Amino acid sequence: MFGKKSKPTPPAGPAVSPSVQGQKSTQEWMPVKDVYNGFIHRRDGGLICAIRVQPINMNLLSPSEKRRKVRMLEEVFNGIDYSFQIISIARPVDLDAYIAKLQHIRSQEENPVKNRLLGEYISQAASVAVKGEALDRHFYILLDEVPTSKKHQSEAILIRRATELVSSLTSADLSSHICSDEELRDLLFIFTHPTQAAYERAPQTNVLLPPLFEMRE
């Protein structure tokens, strides 16, 4: 009209339903923003500190020792006046190296009795590995601090609480320690990748960049 050419209309792309547009990616769904300085930093600004507690076999203790352990642990928890969370997470154990070692020993064993026993051990280990029964269970106590404008103060409060709790657990004959950045990443990796955790480790973030040289004329 009026001697002007109208611009061609671009072809319409595939229609996207509102439900698909509203879906979040995995990274957006995770409430974790980063891991550094010994803390898990949440997206809302909160901080999480983790304490790993080494397990003990209660079946090896006498009834009186069991009652004493339980009573001491109750005293530790009764002395906590802040929120905390206890989690138990299992990590599959990779038995390939153990089976390969047994196979190597069996190939060099000349005693028929030992050779047969090694074969039974190999079969048993392979059966456990296939069924996923080989698990390494980890125990953690998580402490959190609500988001505040004074971040350094929140970090100091969490470190103080975690240090005091580790000391209390030590007095209860329980071995524990505050998790480092690597252990925190490993905890998140086990939670988000339970199958791959048996064969892989959490990615390392200690990236070393090459030096930068500046040439002046």
Q: What integer pLDDT is reported at residue 209 of this predicted model?
A: 47
Residue (of 139, 118, 123, 128) closest to 198 by Cα position:
128
Half-sphere exposure of residue 211: CA atoms within 13 angstroms, side-chain side? 3
Beta-bridge mates of residue 86? 141
Q: What integer pLDDT is reported at residue 205 of this predicted model?
A: 60
Q: What's the CA angle centered on 37, arms 35 and 43, to 5 degrees? A: 40
Q: What integer pLDDT is reported at residue 149 of this predicted model?
A: 75
By CB atoms closer than 10 A (0-12, 13-18, 19+), residue 58 is exposed
Q: What integer pLDDT is reported at residue 1 of this predicted model?
A: 42
pLDDT along the chain (217 residues), means of 10: 48 50 65 88 90 91 93 92 90 83 90 91 86 83 85 89 94 93 88 68 57 55
Residue (of 54, 138, 38, 48) closest to 91 by Cα position:
138
Residue (of 47, 57, 48, 53) closest to 76 by Cα position:
53
Instruction: Kindly state the DSSP code that residue 5 receives in the 8-state scheme.
Output: P
Q: What integer pLDDT is reported at residue 208 of this predicted model?
A: 47
